[in-house]
Amino acid sequence: MIKWKLTYGKGRFRKMDTGLPVLSLCRKAGLLSIGFDMTKQALAERKAVLVVLADGISPKTEKEICFWAKKYQVNVFRSAADIQEISAQIGKKAGVLGILNQGLAKSYLNKQPQAALLQANISSGK
């Protein structure tokens, strides 16, 4: 089921990220790398299983993290939630997150609508 949310200030409806509680669970379990540098380090150490990008991050950050994820063969997922919504769930402001557990990454992706799952593959760094 796809949930919709009215985004205030924009006057339009958009899809909600229903996997946000899973990110909160990852944070509490210590299985979430928060921020670009920590996620890049987790990728280099081959700990990250899935990279989650917030809606509205800069194209440069997205291009760089996609490069590193492609190098280490990790999927990248663009969330429907923006930085403020993610920070409300995990308690820290970040636009790039790395999930460090296969089961939690699978659970996060299962909570997403089918249309969003098509974006789970690594995009080519154009």
pLDDT block averages, 10 residues each, the chain of length 126: 48 63 92 96 96 92 93 90 90 94 91 57 44
Q: What pLDDT score does 103 carry? A: 93
- Give the residue numbers spanning the domain of 37: 11-120
Q: What is the 3-state secondary structure (H, E, C) of the chain?
A: CCCEEEECCCCEEEECCCCHHHHHHHHHHCCEEECHHHHHHHHHCCCCCEEEEEECCCHHHHHHHHHHHHHCCCEEEEEEEEHHHHHHHHCCCCCEEEECCHHHHHHHHHCCCHHHHHHHCCCCCC
Has residue 1 been placed in a domain? no
Has residue 28 been placed in a domain? yes
Q: What pLDDT score does 58 carry? A: 94
Has residue 88 been placed in a domain? yes
Q: What is the CATH number of the domain that holds 95?
A: 3.30.1330.30
Has residue 6 been placed in a domain? no
Q: What pLDDT score does 111 carry? A: 85
The number of folded domains in the chain is 1
Has residue 2 been placed in a domain? no
